[in-house]
Chains A and B, each alone.
Chain A
Amino acid sequence: MAKDVKPTRKNLMAIDDRIDLSERGHGTLEKKRDGLIMEFMDILDKAQDVRGELSDDYEEAQKKINMARAMEGDVAVRGAAAALEEHPEITTEAKNIMGVVVPQIESSRVSKSLDQRGYGVLGTSARIDEAAEAYEDLLESIILAAEVETAMKKMLREIETTKRRVNALEFKLLPELYENKEYIEQKLEEQEREEIFRLKKIKEKKEQEEKQEEQATDEETESDEAVEQATAGGVPGGD
């Protein structure tokens, strides 16, 4: 990975910025993850309670309907159920828990009074009332369980996502960025050293050339002087 990065100062600065951002992001996400886990634990406790209640309500409702079917007869219970006109309704709204949108379910017309269940009151019995009431309670519990368990699942999914992001930052992105930074720094240092060395060489070469030039000049001067001296002493036999 590090080989793909151009070892330039600009890239180094960009990587520094990214490291800074990633570290801040990592910290924030860690806090979010911890916060979500705490919220999740609360919801989990609630969900366990709701599940327990749901299970109890289901057992109770089954017992009541079984008793009603046994004592009043299946036909009577079916008839009473058929008389129901107003069916329960639910509406959902969104609620935000640490950035996670969870549903808030509002129910209406679940629990009914004696005259709202549709069947005549004068000729029916408490067994049917109690079976109807037990099923209304069960339905309330199911709606509550749906709300809590959906919230729990969404929170769990968000915790997983956040955890993956934290881990990706901690074990992948940040190490890579540090590696790239180190690579670029090393490269830049190397380049600097090479530059210094190159400059040194150039300087040496220049100095050498200068020296050679100087030497050559000296030699020329000397030879000129010799010529002059020779010329001034006359050439024997030349006068």
Chain B
Amino acid sequence: MDISTWLNEAAYVNRYVSPLYFLIVILITLSILFYVVRTNNNRALRIFGYAFVVWLILEFGLYFTGVRQYNVEHPYLIIMLIGGVEDPGWVCLAYLVAEKMMKISRQSK
């Protein structure tokens, strides 16, 4: 097969989620936010806000360009949940763990 033919071939990636899945995601994100506020980590809070804006723009952009597709009547709620809750949550969590790892490595030196 020619490489250009392969590059233009369709590559579908699907996932099936449910309201239960989003409830779990909301719980995880809320607990991350609670930890951030409780530890007064201003940087992590800013990263959450920043990721919220960036991922919402990305998700809406992908939806309007037709890359993202949903089988529900009102996809905006799903976009809000993915771009505004799920993605900023894992971004913030990854930052918090990386920050902790850096602090531990600095202390052990």
* A, B from the same assembly: no
